[in-house]
Amino acid sequence: MKLLILNGPNLNMLGIREPEIYGRKTYADLVSFLNECAAALGCTVEVRQSNHEGDLVDWIQEAYGKFDGIVINPAAYTHTSVAILDALKAVALPAVEVHLSDVDAREAFRHISYPGMACQKTFKGFGFEGYRMAMEFLLGQK
Ligand code: DQA
């Protein structure tokens, strides 16, 4: 099984940005963790990050016919992006949403997720572990 793992804006700043919320581990640590998870679970992953909404839309579209599922942390675009929601609906690949923090316990504007409306499941507040849970969930769908 081949999974595309997408990370949205400012996740490249992990380790520096708001460590009291997101922890001290870096984005490079996250990528290593995801590759280790993939090896342990016996799947292939491609991990990408962008600060630009259109990149995420393009990558979702390009995943059609190439990947078996998508794990996505749309970051701030979670709360604004109908374009990412529509892209996920367009390709109709099994998708799971991940948030490092528990967005429901934060500001009210973080309680709405547009991309989440096209996802089979959301894992929030589990840090890096949420990505492993998302991968396991998608592998369980197979
Ligand atoms: C986030 C939560 C979002 O509200 C925020 O904009 C992020 C990261 C998370 O992983 O907890 O950038 O998606």
Out of 27, 99, 114, 131, pick the active-site residue.
99
Ligand 1 neighbourhood includes 49 CB (under 6 angstroms): no
Using CA atoms, how far apart are residues 50 and 142, in angstroms rounded to an integer? 28
The average confidence (pLDDT) of the chain is 98
73 lines ligand 1 (CB under 6 A): yes
pLDDT, tens only, 43-90: 999 999 999 999 999 999 999 999 999 999 999 999 999 999 999 999
* Phi, psi (deg, nearest 5) at residue 17: -75, 130
Largest CA distance in the chain: 39
